[in-house]
Structure 1
Amino acid sequence: MEYESFFEKAFGGGKKPLPYQKRLAESPDLPEILMVPTGLGKTASVTLAWMYRKTQKQENRLPRRLIWCLPMRVLVEQTLENIRQWLKNLGLENEISTHILMGGSEDVFKPTWASQPEKLSILIGTQDMLLSRALMRGYGMSRYQWPAHFAQLHNDALWVFDEVQLMGPSLFTSAQLEAFRRQFSLLLPSRSLWVSATLKPEWLATVDLKPFISGFKTEEIDEEDRNHPIVIQRIRARKQLHRAESSLTKESAKEKYKQYIQSLSQEILEKHQTGTQTLVILNQVERAQLLYQALQKNSKDTEILLLHARFRAMERRGIEEKIKETGKNRILIATQAIEAGVDISSATLFTELAPWSSLVQRFGRCNRYGEETAASIFLVDLEESDQATPYEPQPLTDARKEIDSLLATEDRNAGPEALPVLKDELSPSLVLRKRDFLELFNTDADLSGFDMDISPFIRDTGIPSVQVFWRNFDDKPEDQPPPSREELCPAGISQIKAHLKSISAWVWDSMEENWKSLQMNAIRPGMVLLLKSSDGGYDPAMGFRAGLKQTVPPAETGENGEKEIYGSDPLSTLGRFVSLREHLEDTEEEARKLCEALGLPADSTHAICLAALLHDTGKAHPAFQSALTAHGEAPEKGLWAKSAVQGKRTVYRMPPEPGEEKGIERKHFRHELASMLSWIKNEEENHAKDLIAYLIAAHHGKVRMGLRAMPGEKKPKDDILFARGVWEGDVLPAIVLEKRTIPETALSLDLIQMGEGPMGASWADRTQGLLETHGPFCLALMETLVRIADWRASKKEMEGNHE
């Protein structure tokens, strides 16, 4: 199918691609930079070009995953809905999967993007959700799943960064990550594409990407595009600029914006044209909420809507559905979140002063398609010295000069063709360096229980960086299940701290397996916090609001997430007994299929498949075998990998010695550590010995770069080494497989100590050596493929599909 027909079919017929959209799909290589005026279909151009090249042209060198990284959470669903409609019209909905990346746990037995790396998929999310995963610190998700997402966001991934002028520090982080992918090895190719109507290529010239910039290709609209009727209508759309009568001063800020909000609400109602949509964009959520209240109180027949980043999914979707209804007599109040890829137009626009690149985006939401004969923009000035947040004062001063110049022209036209060339200068205050990035590969928390704070590399101060949810309970959460994704609401660190001055929040402790009360000073970016419904803090029409006392209705979703527990092993309780041999050989088979589907090189395939064959040999440990049979008798004697029991808490105990009522508990027992120690002990000659040891140990994400005893582990009476429930001298029985036999093995933990020992180099030295040799991207993908093979084998066994 030719691209023009493909494009028309995606839109249901009648809509042809613009010249630049056709060039993007048919040129030999995609560009690194796409600069196109707002309203000319950048999302469709990139997405449909990727779909066409992957499904019609079968371009193997183009990544399997398309990743849309948006600056704000608002209207991510709009992008998803458009893409799903294109896929449906093209008949590709079963060939290409679509996913929104949010917080919350994932069921590994469901076909998610992370469990199907060989499939074509489109991921959509905010820079918080996507870049935190790309930095191995995924916000709002299990830390044990971090490596699986990290691996697949850096291998076989085409990143698209949309509306870069809104990205803040994430813009420079995105550039550094692209540089690292060019410096370290990749098992599968990945690349980046930066998209905006307002982008200066030199913004991407960070310390590590700068050497590559000269080879970047930029795609822009050309003369053929400019002469196209649709482009003419949109870039020549007229919108007259005015200075609003209302302005934000130091005095009105001191009285909590009372006078400012009152004045602005009256002016908006006076300028609003009945039967049309007026859009109001304010720079702070608090002011937007106050304006919403004022307009609700003073307007009669006009629909008033509020949209910002701090809503639960349930309420946000309701607002989005209303926004889709065109021809309404409506006033929509929003924050700068509306700038990011939102397909919306208005006859009248009010906007507070912002940096020039942001104003260009906001102006693009007025008379977006040239459909209005009389459209107006009202610029609301503010005293930037005190009211600049979340922006710096200087960019506002520069933007004011541009506004003054436009207001001095005869027609005061603020249409795309009339706007001056972008002059904003962006400079990073903090840049992610290679050393910092490599340190993030270790997913163990430090001794204080905290992780390296990545928020400065993702967001400017004050932007939402934690997620909260509400539940009904009396005093303590007790057995409250984790949240579903639908319940989560973004909130800023400063806002949540303001809300918690006299109330409590709880966070799940995966080590102690309970909800732990949290003090304000212990809150960290990326946390998921449980709040009591009766403590308030949320209004379905206004979103999160610190100090709001009304009871919050819990989100009724009908589902909950899975509790993150360090010692848990849900894949081992499938509903039927599965022998250890069967599971090991099933996993090797799945790993081989996966490597072949991805076209991996022979050496990587060998290491992955051998690690898959041996990944669970540690399940032969007496503590694990007794745990599997504690709630149900096995059908016969033997070594088991899976139990028929489901839903029971796993307690690992050694078989009781004579005279003992029950054996000694091995808290935090990790079978994969025993598997790795067995391999190290028995394998004499193998050039990939350390790599295979790492892949065996890391297949649950709980034993990776570091190896030490965990808090709460009981020290053996004898002064022997111990870690993760494994003790020096523990014996694994012999395991007979079709391809090899693993002899009875007495385990040694010598390698948890520093320096050289009887077993050779320490575990820390071995893993650091692997990171240096293979790089973070290859190493993470190999461990992830072993894990996925384990998931697939377990699913097949659960469904009884073993051949």
Structure 2
Amino acid sequence: MSYCEFFKQCTGFYPYPWQEHFSTWSGQSIAVVSAPTGAGKEFGAVIPWLYSHKMSIPTTTRLVYALPTRSLVEQVYENTRQVVTASGLPINVYCLKGGFIEHGFEQDLTQPAILIGTQDQLLSRALNRGFGVSWGQRPLHCAALTNDCRWVLDEIQLTGVAYSTLVQLYKHWQELGTFGQTQLCLMSATFDDRPLEGLEVERFELDAADLAHSGLAAKVARAKPVFKAAVKGVEDIAALVEAKHLPESLSLVVVNTVERAREIGKLLSNLTPLVIHSRFLGIDREKLQQKLKSYQGVIVATQVVEAGVDLDADLLITELCPWSSFVQRCGRSGRNRTHNAVQIHWLDYQQWQPLPYKAPECEATRDRLLKLPDASLHNLAQIPLPKLDLPSYQLTTRDVETFFCTHHKNRKTTYTVSHYVRDPTAFTVSVVWSIEPPERLPHQKFTCPVPTNELKDFYKSCGVKHLVWGEDTWEQKEPEHGDVVWLPLAAGGYSQERGWTANPNDKRQAYSLEVEPKYNDPPFPYALPLGTHLQDTEAALREVIPYLQMLEIPELLVEELCRCARWHDWGKAHQVWQAYAQAQGELLAKSTHYGSPMQMKGYRHELASAIAAAHQGASFLSQYLIAAHHGKVRDSLMPANRNERFNVKVLRGVELGTHLPSVEIAGVETLPAVELTISGKAGNWEKQLNNLLREYGLFRLIYLEALIRNADIKASQYREEKAKHGNSN
């Protein structure tokens, strides 16, 4: 099947010339796609990757599509799911945005997948500091987003610091190495090339053939008259909307702050406007998103509608903003229909603060608009771009290696990735309201993004109790950007209609919560023998050897991984763990009923497994991969809890000098009885890990971790599926 025919199968129409040209990109260099709103960047980026999988052309296993706003993610996610269904390919599409995070992609890195999410959710995961992800699970997410991936960053002019961070991260992927290719595509209607200096770039732009295309030319040339509207305050804006809005049409008002959006919404109560901003619970925002489809009436919104949201307004009223943002706002009017008349009114003010933007940026836009009678895509493309003040933070090798490490509460400082993935005005925490703190971390759809400083001011002024999710439980501490924070439902501060208000009198009704699955030792359908599980885990890893060979992982390393899989739960043979599993005679890997975790006194079976492997002559790589298979024991053997004193005789709950009994793996080997002792100092672990990082690079090493963890998950799933069908053998 030709690419053009496949494109038509997926979309119902043939590609534009530039989209067909882009399908030839090999991924060896950075792709820069410069095309106006409505030129089909989304399909142009997704379908070539799908076509490669359709035709078995070598490409990456995962496509990662990063966007600046949640609303844009929702649209691209739904469109991509439809395209994948039409393609006939068995590929899963996952959504990752504040308020809605889909899991599963991290549990099998060998299966093709598309990840669509906001820049902060995806980049924080690529830096091993995934927002809203428990510490033990973060390495899995990092592995999935830093090896064998094609990254697409769309609407880069709206992504702020994320643009520079992703380019720097791309350089680290190239220099430190990954398994499989790691590719980068950047797309926007407006571009600033400065972060790309010194890098090999391949450009894709509209040319004469595109402008001669009847469908695309109609979008590019359609007129959008522009008018200046002098206003003094929100009352004038509301009056302008009432004067210009036509019944049974769509009018869009875009302002720069949540407060102004709310105020205008109140003044237009007679028109029952839809007020949209980013400070809603995910479950409430989903309802708003549904209302947007085929909506007629007045929408009052903040910047959340700027990028790619499929609105086609007849009337656009907008505050001054940076030029790139204005171009995006124009894209929400006269977007799809080409026959209707549209108008754009920009608000000329004298005394308002342009926050969150800088005054010179807005003034530069004003100067351009005074000379612009028509904001057609063609006219906008002719206007030189202002020199952007691109935010950027240097991302050094030391930084990414620090993020590779486990979070230790006993360290004097903690590294945050917030300033690498989002602008300071967007520094938020995720707030959940409930009568009692949920048992585990809630799904993000049940949380609301709230500016970190606003939340601190709220609970301090009201004397409200709050808790912050730590490594495995809720803690009493000050929240940092990206944290999940619990507030009692009675604390208020949230309105179901208006979102986050910081008013304690606004109280949402109680809502049902879903929490993250309990990854450690959930009850199993039946008592699973330890030897059986070890054999299953090795078998699960051997199943993906052809895939590992495609990644050019050496044969000797593959065999070492298989042995790690076979030995990974050896430490469960210890009497402490077997008592916890309430085993009766036979050594178990899974139990139908577990005792209290307290009785294990912090015993980490994976560290005991690694110590036993060391006694069998296993390399430190094997020891590390075995110890890391729950994400709890990775870069240090020091206590994770700052209140726990270090005991050289008890490491992560493993009492040195105790024994593991022999373990029979039927038809494979018998693991001998082992005394759990460590030669040298526990601090040697960190030194040896530094040697591994130099040998393999952090991205490859974290990927190898994930392969063992994936095999463990698949082995358990295999037995669970057999149990469902009445077969436990």
- Shorter-chain-normalised TM-score: which range? over 0.9
The 5 A counterparts of 1:506-655 are 506-510=467-471, 513=473, 515-518=474-477, 522-556=478-512, 559-562=514-517, 569-570=520-521, 573-599=523-549, 600=551, 601=553, 602-629=555-582, 634=584, 637-645=585-593, 649-652=596-599
Matches of 1:345 and 1:106, distance apart in 2: 28
Matches of 2:470 and 2:45, distance apart in 1: 42
Rate the CA distance shift 1:132–1:197 in 2: closer, same or farther, 3 A. Answer: same
Q: What does the per-residue CA deviation read over 1:375-410, in whole Å, with 9 as the maximum and x for residues that have no partner?
A: 2211123568x723222333223222222332xxxx
Matches of 2:694 and 2:141, distance apart in 1: 21
Q: What does the per-residue CA deviation read over 1:615-640, in whole Å, with 9 as the maximum and x for residues that have no partner?
A: 111111121111111xxx53xx2322
Displacement of 1:70: 0.9
Give the letter aligned to residue 14 of structure 2.
K
1:698 partnered with 2:628: yes
Contact conserved, 1:25 with 1:53, CA < 8 A, in 2? no
Residue identity (%): 31
Contact conserved, 2:139 with 2:706, CA < 8 A, in 1? yes
Q: Secondary structure at the match of 1:387?
A: coil
Contact conserved, 1:669 with 1:724, CA < 8 A, in 2? yes
Greater CA drift, 124-133 or 721-730? 721-730
Displacement of 1:127: 0.9
Rate the CA distance shift 1:277–1:590 in 2: closer, same or farther, 3 A. Answer: same
Matches of 1:379 and 1:750, distance apart in 2: 72
1:745 to 671, 674, 677: 674
Rate the CA distance shift 1:620–1:76 in 2: closer, same or farther, 3 A. Answer: same
Aligned length: 716
Give the letter aligned to residue 295 of structure 1.
L
Matches of 1:585 and 1:104, distance apart in 2: 39
1:725 to 653, 659, 663: 653
Rate the CA distance shift 1:172–1:118 in 2: closer, same or farther, 3 A. Answer: same
Displacement of 1:562: 3.5
Q: Secondary structure at the match of 2:544?
A: helix
Matches of 1:354 and 1:628, distance apart in 2: 61
Contact conserved, 2:409 with 2:640, CA < 8 A, in 1? no
1:322 to 291, 296, 302: 291
Rate the CA distance shift 1:32–1:23 in 2: closer, same or farther, 3 A. Answer: same
1:392 partnered with 2:366: no
The 5 A counterparts of 1:758-773 are 762-773=684-695
Q: Secondary structure at the match of 2:47?
A: helix
Matches of 2:643 and 2:592, distance apart in 1: 28
What is the TM-score when the length of structure 2 is the normalising length? 0.93
Displacement of 1:649: 3.6
Greater CA drift, 374-383 or 45-54? 374-383
Aligned to 1:781: 703
Rate the CA distance shift 1:161–1:383 in 2: closer, same or farther, 3 A. Answer: farther
Matches of 1:594 and 1:388, distance apart in 2: 55
1:163 partnered with 2:155: yes
1:677 to 611, 619, 625: 611
Contact conserved, 1:444 with 1:706, CA < 8 A, in 2? no
Displacement of 1:102: 4.3
Contact conserved, 2:62 with 2:114, CA < 8 A, in 1? yes
Q: Secondary structure at the match of 2:598?
A: coil
Displacement of 1:753: 3.5
Aligned to 1:252: none
Q: What does the per-residue CA deviation read over 1:768-800, in whole Å, with 9 as the maximum and x for residues that have no partner?
A: 111111001110110101001011111222333
Displacement of 1:643: 1.3
Matches of 1:192 and 1:549, distance apart in 2: 47
Matches of 1:316 and 1:8, distance apart in 2: 33
Displacement of 1:113: 1.3
Contact conserved, 1:352 with 1:379, CA < 8 A, in 2? yes
Displacement of 1:313: 2.6
Displacement of 1:104: 8.6
Give the letter aligned to residue 44 of structure 1.
F
Aligned to 1:709: 639
Matches of 2:292 and 2:34, distance apart in 1: 27
Displacement of 1:130: 0.6
Matches of 1:443 and 1:455, distance apart in 2: 17
Aligned to 1:455: 418
1:489 to 444, 448, 451: 448
1:667 partnered with 2:611: no
Displacement of 1:80: 1.5
Rate the CA distance shift 1:366–1:624 in 2: closer, same or farther, 3 A. Answer: same
Aligned to 2:22: 24
Contact conserved, 1:618 with 1:678, CA < 8 A, in 2? yes
Matches of 2:416 and 2:395, distance apart in 1: 12
Contact conserved, 1:74 with 1:307, CA < 8 A, in 2? no
Displacement of 1:201: 2.3
Unaligned runs of 5+ in 1: 248-259, 407-411, 653-665, 755-761
Rate the CA distance shift 1:478–1:153 in 2: closer, same or farther, 3 A. Answer: closer
Contact conserved, 1:155 with 1:190, CA < 8 A, in 2? yes
The 5 A counterparts of 1:256-335 are 260-296=233-269, 299=270, 302-326=271-295, 328=296, 330-335=297-302
Aligned to 1:79: 76
Q: Secondary structure at the match of 2:23?
A: helix
Aligned to 1:49: 48
Aligned to 1:343: 310
Contact conserved, 1:312 with 1:489, CA < 8 A, in 2? yes
Contact conserved, 1:243 with 1:378, CA < 8 A, in 2? yes
1:129 partnered with 2:121: yes
Q: Secondary structure at the match of 2:251?
A: strand
What is the TM-score when the length of structure 1 is the normalising length? 0.85
Q: Secondary structure at the match of 2:631?
A: coil
Give the letter aligned to residue 99 of structure 1.
Y
Q: What does the per-residue CA deviation read over 1:116-156, in whole Å, with 9 as the maximum and x for residues that have no partner?
A: 22222111111111111011000011111110010110111
Rate the CA distance shift 1:124–1:555 in 2: closer, same or farther, 3 A. Answer: farther
Aligned to 2:7: 7
Contact conserved, 1:468 with 1:488, CA < 8 A, in 2? yes
Q: What does the per-residue CA deviation read over 1:450-499, in whole Å, with 9 as the maximum and x for residues that have no partner?
A: 6311111111112152111211x2xxx26655423431222211232233
Q: Secondary structure at the match of 1:188?
A: coil
Contact conserved, 2:648 with 2:682, CA < 8 A, in 1? no
Rate the CA distance shift 1:139–1:450 in 2: closer, same or farther, 3 A. Answer: farther
2:221 to 236, 258, 261: 236
Contact conserved, 2:99 with 2:282, CA < 8 A, in 1? no
Displacement of 1:739: 3.8
Rate the CA distance shift 1:102–1:621 in 2: closer, same or farther, 3 A. Answer: farther
Contact conserved, 2:526 with 2:728, CA < 8 A, in 1? no
Contact conserved, 1:283 with 1:352, CA < 8 A, in 2? yes
Contact conserved, 2:548 with 2:558, CA < 8 A, in 1? no
Rate the CA distance shift 1:736–1:767 in 2: closer, same or farther, 3 A. Answer: same
Matches of 1:712 and 1:218, distance apart in 2: 51
2:378 to 411, 417, 422: 417
Displacement of 1:26: 4.6
1:35 partnered with 2:20: no
Aligned to 1:791: 713
Give the letter aligned to residue 399 of structure 1.
T
Q: What does the per-residue CA deviation read over 1:219-243, in whole Å, with 9 as the maximum and x for residues that have no partner?
A: 0111000111112211112111111
Matches of 2:334 and 2:83, distance apart in 1: 25
Matches of 1:104 and 1:783, distance apart in 2: 28
Matches of 1:127 and 1:720, distance apart in 2: 42
Unaligned runs of 5+ in 2: none
1:188 to 176, 180, 183: 180
Q: Secondary structure at the match of 2:586?
A: coil
Matches of 1:89 and 1:554, distance apart in 2: 40
Displacement of 1:574: 1.2
Q: What does the per-residue CA deviation read over 1:523-555, in whole Å, with 9 as the maximum and x for residues that have no partner?
A: 101111122222222222222222252221233
